[in-house]
Amino acid sequence: MPLLIRNANEVITLASEVEGPRMREAMGELAVQTNVDVLIEGDVIKMVAPFEEIQAAFPQLVERAEVIDATGKIMMPGLVDCHTHLVHGGTREHELNMRLNGKSYMEIMNAGGGIHYTTTKTKESSAEHLFAKTYEHLNDFLLHGITTVEAKSGYGLDWATEKKQLEVVKLLQEHHAVDLVSTFMGAHAVPKEYKGNEDAFVDLVINEMLPQVAAENLAEFNDVFCEKGVFTPAQSEKILEAGKKYGLIPKIHADEIEPYEGAELAAKVGAISAEHLLVASDEGIDAMAKSGTIAVLLPGTAFFLKAPYARGRLMVDRGVPVAISTDFNPGSSPTISLPFIQNLACMNMGMTMEEVLCATTINAAYAINRQDSIGTIEVGKKADLLLLNVPNFKQLQYFYGMNHTNTVVKNGKVVVKDGTLI
Ligand SMILES: N=CN[C@@H](CCC(=O)O)C(=O)O
Ligand SMILES: [Zn+2]
C-alpha cells in the first residue's frame, strides 16, 4: 500500500544541487520545508510537495494510501551510521574501571586485553550466537532512527573468524530491516603470535585474506588501524593498496591516539574516508580537504576514552567533508545512540545543529558510497524516513541525551511506531 505522510512541522529534506559530499556552508543547508507531505510507493519516495499537488499528480495512489499524520513532529532521512564494529563476541565493562583508574586504552590492549579480548570472545562465539546478539543490537539501532549501518570485521585476526563475522553481516542483511554495508578490517590488531614479526601478519592479510574477501564478495571496503604500536603508515599503505587491486575501497583508522600522519596517508592512497582523526595534524587536514577525503568523526570514542575531541569545526572550515558516527564497538564506544553522538559533536567539536544532521545523513551516506540511494528526502531515493517527537530540528540537540524517534519508515514500510518495533 502507498504511504502518505502528512502535516509534519518541518521536513528536513537535505536536498541540494551541490555535487559530492557537503562541505563548508553547504553542510549547514538542510533545505527544511514546512508545508510539504511525502508520498511513498513501494520502497521509493514518489513525491515531496504540498498535499494538493500530490493529490493532483497521483490521485489514485493518494486514494489507496495509508496516511500517517505527523502533526507536531519533524521528518528527516533515516540516520546513517557509517563506522561500527557491529559483529563481536562479549562485552568489556571490566575495562571501564581499569581506565577510570588510570590505565590507558593502549596499555590494556598491549597487555592482551582490548581488541585481543574481544577477538578471543568472537572466536569462541558461534555464528548463530553472533547473529542473534547482533540482531538485538540492530533492533536498538532502528529504535534510535538508524536505518543503515556500516559493519567492520576485525575481531578474528585469522581468516576463519573474519569470514564468520563477514558472513554474519551478509545473513543479517537478508534478515533484518536495517541495511548493512560491509568493511573488511583484518588489520585491526597484530595477533600475539605475530608480535615482533608484524610484517608476516601484514603478508597474511594481503596474500591470504584479501583475495578471499574479494572472491567471496564479502566486503566493499578495506580498513586498517594505522596507529603507533599497531600498523605503521607503511604497512597500512601496503594493505590498502593491495585491497584496491581487488576493488576494495580504502578506509583508514587514522590519528586516533597519537599523531601518525594517518590523515596524510588517507589523502595519499585516495581513501574514501579517514576515521577518528582526534589528533590529526594541520597538514593532514589540509591534505584531506584537497583530496576530498571524508572525515568520519567519532566523538563517542573521545567521550568514552576521555581523550581530546577531533577538531570538527576546523575541519569543516578548512573544507573537509565531515561525517559523524557512533563507532559502536565493545571497547571504545559501546553505544548505538547516534542521536547522543550528534549532541557530543555539537558540544565538544563545535559543530552546528545543522551540520551534525548533514554529517549523520547525506555525508555519512557518501562515506559508504550510498549517496545515490539514501541520506536525503528526494524523489527516487529509498523511503528511509523518521518522524521525531520534536516540533523543530533544533530541539534534537537541545533536549540532549534523549531518543526522540517516534516512527521509522524503512524501505517504505513502517518498522517503528510510537517508539516501538512492529
Ligand atoms: N581503534 C580501533 N578500533 C576500534 C575499537 C575497537 C575495540 O576497542 O574493540 C575503534 O575504532 O575505536
Ligand atoms: Zn573503529
What's 153's domain CATH number?
3.20.20.140
Residue whose CA lies nearest to ligand 1 atom number 11: 327
Residue whose CA lies nearest to ligand 1 atom number 12: 332
Q: Based on the structure, what is the number of domains in the chain? A: 2
Bridge partners for 41 per DSSP: 44
pLDDT of residue 402: 98
Bridge partners for 275 per DSSP: 253, 296
**Phi-psi region at 196: left, alpha or beta (left = phi > 0; alpha = psi -120 to 50):** left
Which ligand 1 atom is nearest residue 225's CA?
Answer: 2
Task: Say if residue 225 is in the same domain as residue 293.
Answer: yes
Cell 571524508 maps to which residue? Answer: 294
Q: Could you say which DSSP state residue 194 is in?
A: G
Please say whether the beta carbons of 255 and 230 come within 8 A: no
Task: Say if residue 284 is in the same domain as residue 310.
Answer: yes
Task: Say if residue 247 is in the same domain as residue 121.
Answer: yes
How many Å apart are CA 317 and CA 384, to the nearest integer? 30
Cα–Cα distances (Å) from 142 to 78, 257, 366, 411, in that order, read 9, 31, 20, 13
How many Å apart are CA 231 and CA 118, to the nearest integer? 19
What's the 69 CA to ligand 1 centre distance in angstroms? Answer: 41
What's the 89 CA to ligand 1 centre distance in angstroms? Answer: 14
Task: Say if residue 235 is in the same domain as residue 326.
Answer: yes
pLDDT tens for each residue of 84-102: 999 999 999 999 999 999 9
Q: What are phi and psi of 249, to 5 degrees?
A: -80, 130
Task: Say if residue 402 is in the same domain as residue 312.
Answer: no
pLDDT in tens, the chain (422 residues): 999 999 999 999 999 999 999 999 999 999 999 999 999 999 999 999 999 999 999 999 999 999 999 999 999 999 999 999 999 999 999 999 999 999 999 999 999 999 999 999 999 999 999 999 999 999 999 999 999 999 999 999 999 999 999 999 999 999 999 999 999 999 999 999 999 999 999 999 999 999 999 999 999 999 999 999 999 999 999 999 999 999 999 999 999 999 999 999 999 999 999 999 999 999 999 999 999 999 999 999 999 999 999 999 999 999 999 999 999 999 999 999 999 999 999 999 999 999 999 999 999 999 999 999 999 999 999 999 999 999 999 999 999 999 999 999 999 999 999 999 99
Residue whose CA lies nearest to ligand 1 atom number 5: 332
Among the three residues 341, 368, 395, which one is the final residue of a domain in this structure?
368
* DSSP state letters, 280-300: --HHHHHHHHHHTPEEEE-HH
What's the 53 CA to ligand 1 centre distance in angstroms? Answer: 49
Provide the sign of the torsion angle of the four alpha carbons 60, 63, 69, 71, taken in this order. Answer: positive
Write out the residue range of the structural domain in which residue 115 sits.
79-368
Nearest to 349, CA basis, from 295, 296, 310, 307: 310
Cell 516512527 maps to which residue? Answer: 407
Q: For residue 23, how far is the Cα from the chain centroid?
A: 18
Task: Residue 12: give its domain's CATH number.
Answer: 2.30.40.10
Task: Say if residue 197 is in the same domain as residue 344.
Answer: yes
Task: Say if residue 191 is in the same domain as residue 112.
Answer: yes
Statement: the pTM of the whole predicted model exceeds 0.90 = yes
To the nearest 10°, report the CA torsion of 45, 51, 55, 57: -60
Query: Ligand 2 being an ion, which residues bring their Cβ within 5 A of it?
Result: 327
Task: Say if residue 105 is in the same domain as residue 193.
Answer: yes
pLDDT of residue 382: 98
Task: Say if residue 95 is in the same domain as residue 187.
Answer: yes
Please say whether the beta carbons of 254 and 260 come within 8 A: yes
Provide the sign of the torsion angle of the four alpha carbons 242, 246, 247, 253, taken in this order. Answer: negative
The ipTM estimated for the assembled molecules is 0.98
| 317 marked as part of a ligand binding site | no
Q: Where are the beta strands (DSSP E) in 70-113?
A: 74-77, 79-81
Task: Say if residue 290 is in the same domain as residue 414.
Answer: no
pLDDT of residue 117: 98
Bridge partners for 382 per DSSP: 44
Helix, strand, or coil (residue 120)? helix
Mutation to probe ligand 1, out of 85, 86, 256 (largest number of atoms < 8 A from CB): 85
How many Å apart are CA 264 and CA 268, to the nearest integer? 6
Cα–Cα distances (Å) from 363 to 301, 354, 360, in that order, read 19, 12, 7
Helix, strand, or coil (residue 54)? helix
To the nearest 10 degrees (0 to 180), the angle between helices 159-175 and 127-143 is: 50
Task: Say if residue 246 is in the same domain as residue 352.
Answer: yes
Helix, strand, or coil (residue 408)? strand
pLDDT tens for each residue of 4-63: 999 999 999 999 999 999 999 999 999 999 999 999 999 999 999 999 999 999 999 999
pLDDT of residue 256: 98
Task: Say if residue 347 is in the same domain as residue 389.
Answer: no
To the nearest 10°, report the CA torsion of 134, 135, 140, 142: 120
Ligand 1 neighbours (beta carbon < 6 A)? 85, 114-115, 118, 225, 253, 256, 301, 327, 329-333
